[in-house]
Chain A
């Protein structure tokens, strides 16, 4: 590899997106930076502004305000050049179902103006990468959801992009398909491809992202590595208590002072504490008998709950 001129692959300052004619503000002045080689995530519920941000980075949606530089180029004026050097994996695949798996790669590669022979050779390698070589001549409509998503990722790599953008890469996939996909994305990371992804799955963000921002209502509410975010916005462990119907409110009062923070959800209480087992013993000592009690490590779900007071999946 030769030396790269830009260390910051993406740089956004006060980035805004306002949709007309409704005037709806989807992205409300956000700042972030992507450095080469890292996997960067946008975490947040539906409507947080993640996809709008992604569309602006992939230069298919003009900015309404602020500045955005991708690969050192101004996204507002150099869209076509930027798009030539990034890969996009949209949420809805946009594969041509009537064409074969290989044809989809060939046609997409041609869109970048790549010579036929180059696209052919890359298509074979990418089919291998996506574990779709034996499906190469099947029509796309016959593929499973996981296979389609892997094909979309392979397609997004056909121009050998410096950044790959993935919008909700595993939404709608079964657990097995998700894990295979994650595994493929690890390999890409290992090969030095920078990733930007959006997700509303905590485990996905924790698995894949080196660094992430939490978005809510078009703004960034927190930023850091998954570990940092958990450490600064949640305790080390969480004790989850389910109580008999009707007793939760009373129990919550009695628990006062036992944990760093108590969060009351419709169906359970969350106690944020350094040591969950000790806290559970203290709960029992105060005469509270939960129907079930579970001690787990704090995760990004807890970070989101702390920051916004809401759960991610409503």
Chain B
């Protein structure tokens, strides 16, 4: 215990977690009540997609045989794409609505900001929870993918951080934005007009190699394409040091830039 000579600030016991973990534990606490609903959207839905499109539609695709699949089955091509797209969606959903609500109506950010927590602690803890959610969904999904023999257990294990990174490349910038949003409709609009087209056309369902070169070039610049390429290279076993460095570097840069922007917007909103 603290000795008599310790300064007043040492009155706070040394075993207390860093502030960021306090915010994380708040979200974890809430999650104990809401996790059932999130299982449907982030695990059950993608698995239904995987079954219907990957296995069902995939049978038709495989019968035709496509050179764009580079010899893999359609389901093995589709599964990592779907995982990355799912991570994007979860990353967006976890960052948009909850951050907006917390900064506005629910007021829990303001409540936390009135304590010894700083806006950066609040942001850090919430982002950590988003990463946790992404890792959890990715684990459930890849467990199924591995159980069906679509990929080996080691590769499945590598998919988890890849999908989490992909999701965080959305979460961090979206959090930076949604703390400034004043109307829920904005969030819905971005989901429909930005997220959905990305989901459809970034290579989740088909290889973008078959598109005109210029269009492929544009798509390759989107974060989801990079996430899909990363996940797909793991499942297909075609990952190269250079390719992996490029994909992860791109995604990590987005996380970092998003985080730095969010530190500013959170501070402005909560301490302005």
Using CB atoms and an 8 Å cutoff, list the residues of chain A in contact with chain B: 58, 60-62, 79-81, 83-84, 88, 90, 92-99, 103, 107-108, 110-115, 155, 159
Contacts and interface: CB of A to CB of B under 8 A. Distances in A.
A103 B270 contact: no
The 8 closest A-B CB pairs, nearest first, are A94-B107, A84-B116, A113-B16, A111-B115, A94-B111, A88-B114, A80-B116, A83-B116
A110 B25 contact: yes
Given A97-B106, A111-B22, A81 B116 contact: yes
B240 interface: no
Contacts of B23: 111
28 contacts: A60-B110, A60-B114, A62-B271, A79-B271, A81-B116, A83-B116, A83-B117, A84-B116, A92-B107, A93-B107, A94-B106, A94-B108, A94-B110, A94-B114, A95-B107, A95-B111, A96-B111, A107-B25, A107-B26, A110-B25, A110-B26, A111-B26, A111-B115, A112-B116, A113-B12, A113-B17, A113-B19, A159-B115
A300 B237 CA distance: 79
B168 to A, nearest CB: 24
Residue from the set B13, B112, B116, B117 with the largest chain A CB neighbour count within 10 Å: B116
A20 to B, nearest CB: 9
Given A103-B29, A113-B17, A96 B108 contact: yes
B111 A108 contact: yes
B113 interface: yes
A74 to B, nearest CB: 16
B30 interface: yes
Contacts of A113: 12-13, 16-17, 19, 22, 116
B33 A98 contact: yes
B210 interface: no
Nearest to B29: A107
Contact of A110 (B22, B107, B110, B271): B22
B108 A60 contact: no
B213 interface: no
Contacts of A90: 107, 110-111, 114
Contacts of B197: none
Contacts of A80: 116-118
Contacts of B149: none
Contacts of A112: 115-116
A61 B272 contact: yes
B67 interface: no
Interface string B107-129: 11011111111100000000000
A9 B138 CA distance: 52
Interface of B: 9, 12-13, 15-17, 19, 22-23, 25-26, 29-30, 33, 106-108, 110-118, 270-272
Contacts of B15: 115
Nearest to B16: A113
The CB with the most chain A CB atoms within 10 A, among B15, B114, B117, B270, is that of B114
Contacts, number: 83
A108 B271 contact: no
A113 B19 CA distance: 7
Contacts of A99: 29-30, 33
A108 B115 contact: yes
B271 A60 contact: yes
Contacts of A61: 271-272
Contacts of B108: 94, 96
A90 B113 CA distance: 12
A111 B12 CA distance: 12
Contact of A114 (B16, B106, B113, B272): B16
A84 B115 contact: yes
Given A84-B116, A90-B111, 20 more contacts: A58-B114, A60-B271, A62-B271, A80-B116, A81-B9, A83-B115, A84-B115, A92-B107, A93-B107, A94-B107, A94-B111, A103-B29, A111-B23, A111-B111, A113-B12, A113-B116, A114-B16, A115-B13, A115-B15, A115-B16
Nearest to B33: A98
Contacts of B107: 90, 92-95
A242 to B, nearest CB: 43
A84 B19 CA distance: 12
B159 to A, nearest CB: 33
Contacts of B29: 99, 103, 107
A58 B271 CA distance: 10
Nearest to A114: B16
Contacts of A114: 12, 16
Given A110-B25, A113-B16, A115-B15, A83 B114 contact: yes
A290 B272 CA distance: 53
Contacts of A110: 22, 25-26
Contacts of A79: 118, 271
A90 B111 CA distance: 8
Contacts of B17: 113
Nearest to A155: B111
B37 to A, nearest CB: 12
A90 B112 CA distance: 12
